[in-house]
Amino acid sequence: MKNFIQHHPWKVIEETFHPLWNRVSESLFSLGNGNMGHRGNFEEGYSGETLQGHYVAGVYYPDKTRVGWWKIGYPEYFAKVLNAPAWIGIGIELDEEPVDLARMKVERFWRELDMRTGTLTRTFAATTAGGKAVEVTACRFCSMARKELGLIRYRLTSKNFNGRITLTLDADADVKNQDANYDEKFWREVSRKVTDQYIIITAATLKTDFHVSTGTAYRIFLNGKPVSLQPEIAEREKYAAHRISIAVQAGDTIEIVKYGVIASSFNHSKQNVELHCHRLLDELRGIPFEQLHNEHIQRWEEIWRDCDITIEGDAAAQQGIRFAIFHLMQTYTGEDERLNIGPKGFTGEKYGGSTYWDTEAYCLPFYMSTAGQHVARNLLLYRYRHLPKAIENARKLGFENGAALYPMVTMNGEECHNEWEITFEEIHRNGAIAYAIYDYVRYTGDEEYLTDYGLEVLLALSRFWSQRVNWSDAKGGYVMLGVTGPNEYENNVNNNWYTNYIARWTLTYTLEVLAWARKHAGDKTRALTEKAGLRADEEKCWQDIIEKLYLPEDPTRGIFLQQDGFLDKELRTVDSLKPAERPLNQHWSWDRILRSCFIKQADVLQGLYFFEDHFDREVIRKNFDFYEPMTVHESSLSPCVHAILACSLGYLHKAYEMFLRTARLDLDDYNNDTEDGLHVTSMAGTWMSLVKGFGGMRVKDGRLYLNPIVPGPWQSYSFRILFRNRVLRITAKQGTEATVKLESGNPIEIQLGDKILNVQ
């Protein structure tokens, strides 16, 4: 855990330069706008430790699978989020010496991300080995108002240097992914247009042939006055730059305003990408920085007005929750149902593809309550559109009759994960997809979704589960062998309670929805079941599995068993581990981890969180008390679920600890892996820990239910949610009763604690 980010309610601040943690900071200071994003790389370049990262939504590369032992069923490729062409470069030479913080004496350094305005600012004072001193203030944003635009204002003052400053203003498509199976570059050049005014490089991804045009233009000012200098053009394949040399005296300030436009064939026809980029660049480069910045700030103001959460009395928590909301909003804006939320968003390459079960299990509630029903529906439709591929995926593994197995990781519906214990065995992801349909309908009341789309998905999921179980004479029930539950620190286990439970629930829910649909939309349902070829004996078989599916438990302890063999393990609690052994995945052999009782993330408890109404409090308590002390929370998705359960069990101290852990996971680098990118999907869990945890938000029988509690260190907190065409503000203060205010929409009856209120 690191502690170098200053606590501030609206800003992320790094007060001094930490070269050793530069990659962590690059992740923390990432910017995006739903369409593109950049890590916090330095404009002037950096020869020290860095992970260069620029990303364009929907653009990926299918990197041919590389494994030691090929297993039938493996996908041919792993879809990689691509490090895309960069436009941010502003190289600087002071006579012959480069401005490069890795090689300079840094006297002063300050970097701040203002989350209120979505603006990244960095100032430093540094001196070269030859004694040339400069001061720099670089400010940049990724426009939320114009999704294909990014802008930089870079000011450099010479402190003591009289000579020539040479600027290299470039666009660079000659980039590499750190994560490349065959050490190849994934881009080829399509065209390169370089004039005295601008540079546009169009590059295409190998195999997938996405075309991306990266255009850049700039304006330069010397001591506030525009200067127009003839650039020297430097070009090579996939790269072009303008080199400009300016004579300066000590005290002079050069300002560069650099425009970056990214257009991709994900949104435009290939023939038009370059033209579109050109037109946009022409249109935008005449507009002053301030004007474009103001538009962007205004958009952020609107976002914050709709979904800010305030916490009084705890700057660390306040910063953490805003950091989460900020990143979620700049990763996915919900207009395009082809897009999704990658675990790293636009902040790193790790995890490859864009969609995991994280979307359904964690992100959906956040977007449903803050961005609204249509955005949540788009997230569901994403999976609906991928149903044929999920059926194909299951078929490859030997399943029949329209059974669907959704991929563990995907970009376009195809599986692209290739570790057998996860690809073939971590099948609980199918359960989260069914649960999301239920969660969406429960929250929005949009029952039509079921007959239009949801039921078709549910039928295919139920077919999968019914073929994945087998009858066991020994157990006298159906069992599910060889799975990996959410806890990836155990593989190939039998009867993972969570997976069995969510499978059984999916079958039950499918039959319920089927019965409801037959009653309410008979013709549509008949057409649907005929199309799916659903047979009466399938429904009977599902019912039989519901009644006879084996669920491991230990009646003596009153707990559900994570899997059949869990109690054979040496049971130890996390407090018996030495700090130097944590995180386990960076210190223990995998073999040791797999045999240990230590749990990566909520597993049985994930089920109790999803289905809390199925269990009484004492059962939840016993399971929490048993499993939480063995949980190392080495998945970012873990602390939030524990925070929510701890709140409902009245374990306020634990809930607060878990809240800080999820809210500050990246800010304090708890798991020592923020350098690879931020844990964006888990940030939705941070939001859930506050709203569902402390706020106690639930929906029961179509009614909104709230039960706010205020953790000790906080004076108050307040959040806003969208619920069935209403906007509600919930405020909870220490020592007084919480309030719910209707900010727009018709009066609504809700439950606050044990009281029914008519909010108007």
Prior bond to 226 cis, omega within 30? no
- Which residue's CB atom is positioned nearest to ligand BGC? 343
* DSSP codes joined into one string, 272-303: HHHHHHHHHHHHHTTS-HHHHHHHHHHHHHHH
Can you tell me the distance from the alpha carbon of 639 to that of 659, in angstroms, rounded to the nearest whole number? 7
Give a three-class secondary structure readout of 482-546: CECCCCCCCCCECCCHHHHHHHHHHHHHHHHHHHHHHHHCHHHHHHHHHHHCCCHHHHHHHHHHH
- Nearer to ligand BGC by Cβ, of 289 and 420: the residue is 420
In the complex, least distance from residue 366 CB atom to ligand BGC, rounded to whole angstroms: 15
Site for ligand BGC in 681-710 (CB under 6 A): 681
Q: Does 444 engage in binding with ligand BGC (CB under 6 A)?
A: no
User: Which pair of structure tokens corresponds to residue 97?
Assistant: 């010496």
Rounded least distance, CB 356 to ligand BGC, Å: 4
Q: Quick one: angle between helices 522-532 and 497-520, nearest 10?
A: 130
Instruction: Closer to ligand BGC by CB, 151 or 637: give it.
Output: 637
Are 365 and 72 spatial neighbours (Cβ–Cβ below 8 Å)? no
For the chain, the first-to-last Cα distance in angstroms comes to 46
| Cα 376 from Cα 699, distance rounded (Å) | 16
Please indicate whether residue 392 is annotated as part of the active site. Answer: no
Nearer to ligand BGC, 156 or 641 (CB): 641
Q: Compare residues 357 and 627 and give the one whose CB is closer to ligand BGC.
A: 357
User: Per rule CB under 6 A, is residue 609 in the interface with ligand BGC?
Assistant: no
Q: How far is CA 303 from CA 37, 200, 332, 365, 753, in A?
A: 18, 32, 13, 17, 29
Q: How far apart are CA 472 and CA 392, in angstroms?
A: 28
Helices (H), 336-489: 358, 364-370, 373-385, 387-396, 420-423, 428-444, 448-449, 455-468
Among 14, 93, 349, 488, binds ligand BGC (CB under 6 A): 488
In angstroms, what is the minimal distance from the CB of 514 to ligand BGC? 29
Interface residue with ligand BGC, options 154, 186, 304, 356 (CB under 6 A): 356
In the complex, least distance from residue 637 CB atom to ligand BGC, rounded to whole angstroms: 5
Q: Give the separation between CA 382 and CA 467, rounded to whole angstroms.
A: 25
- Please name which of 429, 363, 352, 439 lies closest in space to residue 390, comparing C-alpha atoms: 429
**Residue 453 three-state SS:** helix
Q: How far is the CB of 409 from ligand BGC (least distance, A)?
A: 8
**Nearer Cβ to ligand BGC, position 563 or 601?**
601
Task: Give the CA angle between residues 497, 501, 502 to the nearest 5°.
Answer: 120
* Closer Cβ to ligand BGC, 487 or 500, answer by number: 487
Nearest to 25 by CA among 7, 8, 45, 42: 42
Nearest approach in angstroms of CB 453 to ligand BGC is: 24
Q: Which is nearer to ligand BGC, 342 or 402 (CB)?
A: 342
Interacting residues with ligand BGC between 616 and 645 (CB under 6 A): 635, 637
Nearest approach in angstroms of CB 636 to ligand BGC is: 7
The residue written with tokens 């691509």 in the block is 82
Examine residue 407 and tell whether it contacts ligand BGC (CB under 6 A). Answer: no
By C-beta, is 486 or 693 nearer to ligand BGC?
486
Q: Nearest approach, Cβ of 275 to ligand BGC (angstroms)? A: 38
Site for ligand BGC in 87-146 (CB under 6 A): none
Is residue 351 near ligand BGC by the rule CB under 6 A?
yes
Contact pattern for ligand BGC over residues 48 through 77, marking x by CB under 6 A:
------------------------------
Q: Which residue has the tokens 């005296």?
A: 249
Cβ atoms of residues 374 and 449 within 8 Å: no
Residue 357 or 464: the one with the smaller Cβ distance to ligand BGC is 357
Catalytic position from the list 112, 360, 488, 634: 488
Of 110-118, 355-363, 525-533, 604-612: span binding ligand BGC (CB under 6 A): 355-363
**x/- binding map, residues 649-688, to ligand BGC, per CB under 6 A?**
--------------------------------x-------
Cβ neighbours of residue 746 closer than 8 Å, sequence gap 6 or more: 725, 726
Q: Give min distance, CB of 219 to ligand BGC, in A.
A: 41
By beta-carbon proximity to ligand BGC, the closer residue of 93 and 488 is 488
Choices 194-202, 351-359, 522-530, 699-707; region in contact with ligand BGC by CB under 6 A: 351-359
Distance CA 164, CA 356 (A): 51
Tell me the site size for ligand BGC, rule CB under 6 A. Answer: 12
Q: Does 415 bind ligand BGC (CB under 6 A)?
A: no
Structure tokens at 621: 């308590």
Partnered with residue 219 across adjacent β-strands are 257
Contact between 601 and ligand BGC per CB under 6 A:
yes
Return the beta strands (E) in 223-330 as ranges. 225-227, 232-236, 239-248, 253-264, 310-312
Contact yes or no for 723/443 (Cβ under 8 A): yes
Cα 74 to Cα 63, 414, 415, 488: the distances in Å are 13, 11, 8, 19
Of 210, 357, 384, 424, the one binding ligand BGC (CB under 6 A) is 357
If the CB atoms of residues 211 and 600 are measured against ligand BGC, the closer one turns out to be: 600
| Per-residue contact string for residues 8-37; x = within reach of ligand BGC by CB under 6 A | ------------------------------
Residues 330-349 touching ligand BGC, rule: CB under 6 A, are 343
Asked if 362 is part of the footprint of ligand BGC (rule: CB under 6 A), the reply reads no
Task: Tell me how far, at minimum, the Cβ of 627 lies from ligand BGC, in Å.
Answer: 16
Residues 528-587 that bind ligand BGC (CB under 6 A): none
Identified binder of ligand BGC from the candidate list 150, 486, 685, 696, rule CB under 6 A: 486
- Residue closer to ligand BGC (CB basis): 419 or 447: 419
Give 755: exposed, middle or buried? Use CB within 10 Å, 0-12, 13-18, 19+: exposed
H/E/C letters for each residue in 53-67?
CEEECCCEEEEECCC
Secondary structure class of 479 (helix, strand, coil): strand
For binding to ligand BGC (CB under 6 A), which residues are involved? 343, 351, 356-358, 486, 488, 600-601, 635, 637, 681
Tell me which residues are annotated as active site: 488
